[in-house]
Amino acid sequence: MRGDSMAGTASPCLVWVLVEYRGAWPPDGFEGIGIEAGTKALVVAAARAANARILLVRRPGPRRRLGPSSWAVLRHQSSGAYQQLWGTWERDQDLAGIVSALASPGKPGLPPVILVCAHGQHDACCAVRGRPAGRALSERWPELVWECSHVGGDRFAANAVIAPDGVYYGGLDAGSSVTTVEDHLTDRIRAEYLRGYTDLLPPQQAAIAAVLERFGPAGRHDYLVTESLREGDHWRIHLTGKPPHPAHVDVELQARRTPLRQLTCRAPTEGSVIVYEPTSIRRT
């Protein structure tokens, strides 16, 4: 990783579809796997209608060959409530259960899922850096951890997503992944490896990260974005905090575009991204 700013880089998502797939993962993930075309089309259409993201998953370590595979629909509600529905599949047609699951509110109270991008066919860095982090996390939480296909931000590998919490972390290794997730599971989110929250816009994500860096760790819903104002490349984000955190904080950010560079190992051309740099953080 080149040291690019991670704050504000979480891909937007409120609903995740996980499909355990034990074969090779093609570069384009679910849409490229070799399953029955009609079933695949049903799942893709239902996911698009629900603004859901489909990820291929597998357990870290040696690939399991026998027994049914799992699928899941994970949903993040704006209220902070999380729901999940899980099923299994052996025949391609069994995956049609995802369609009805996407129309269901799901079950609350289940532990979150820890997803670590290890999609080497999409970008080699994700496999090289993601797999050691996945193994370390799996040794600590074997029932919660899955390797997953591309989640975005390959240059920040190893990347982890906690779902349906909707929190992206990046720049992880075996050691920092465990300590970061330990903090997350006790509702103490730190700024150091935080990429952002998937229910917020990039400048709002960057404002949260800046406040956590200034005032210390906080729970997933301890800060609420209550106002966002934009003037050209300048943003002002107002956050309301729960005790013992600051009750009101204004964060000002300047958006700028980075110089052209190769963003990923497989990128055929150079590209640039927008970063959001905090210029002021004030209690109000």
Taking only the tens place, the pLDDT of each residue in 136-168 is 999 999 999 999 999 988 889 899 999 999 999
| DSSP designation for 108 | S
Would you state the pLDDT for residue 26? 92
Tokens 């089309």 correspond to 41
Q: Among residues 182, 133, 184, which one has the least CA distance to residue 156?
A: 133
Instruction: Quote the mean pLDDT of the chain.
Output: 92
Categorize the per-residue pLDDT at 124 as very low, low, confident or very high, splitting at 50, 70 and 90.
confident
Q: Are 116 and 137 a contacting pair, CB within 8 Å?
A: yes
Is the pLDDT assigned to residue 64 strictly greater than 80?
Answer: no
Would you state the pLDDT for residue 81? 77
Number of Cβ atoms within 10 Å of the Cβ of 39? 18
Would you state the pLDDT for residue 267? 63
pTM of the entire structure?
0.93
More confident residue, 126 or 48: 48
pLDDT tens-digit profile of 260-273? 766 666 666 666 78
Average pLDDT over residues 197-207: 97
Would you state the pLDDT for residue 83? 94
Per-residue tokens: 76: 């993040």
More confident residue, 195 or 77: 195
CA-to-CA dists, residue 106 to 48, 86, 122, angstroms: 18, 9, 31
Would you state the pLDDT for residue 1? 46
pLDDT tens-digit profile of 184-195? 999 999 999 999
Categorize the per-residue pLDDT at 120 as very low, low, confident or very high, splitting at 50, 70 and 90.
confident
Categorize the per-residue pLDDT at 119 as very low, low, confident or very high, splitting at 50, 70 and 90.
confident
CA dihedral 176, 178, 180, 186 (to 10 degrees): -160
Tokens 């049903």 correspond to 42
Q: Spell out the domains of the chain, with CATH numbers in brackets.
A: 15-183 (no CATH), 201-283 (3.10.450)
- 39: enclosing H helix or E strand: helix 37-49
pLDDT tens-digit profile of 11-29? 999 999 999 999 999 999 9
Spell out the long-range contacts of 26-35 with Cβ–Cβ below 8 A and sequence spacing 24 or more.
26/121, 27/121, 27/122, 29/54, 29/55, 29/56, 29/119, 29/122, 29/149, 29/150, 30/54, 30/55, 30/56, 30/149, 35/92, 35/95
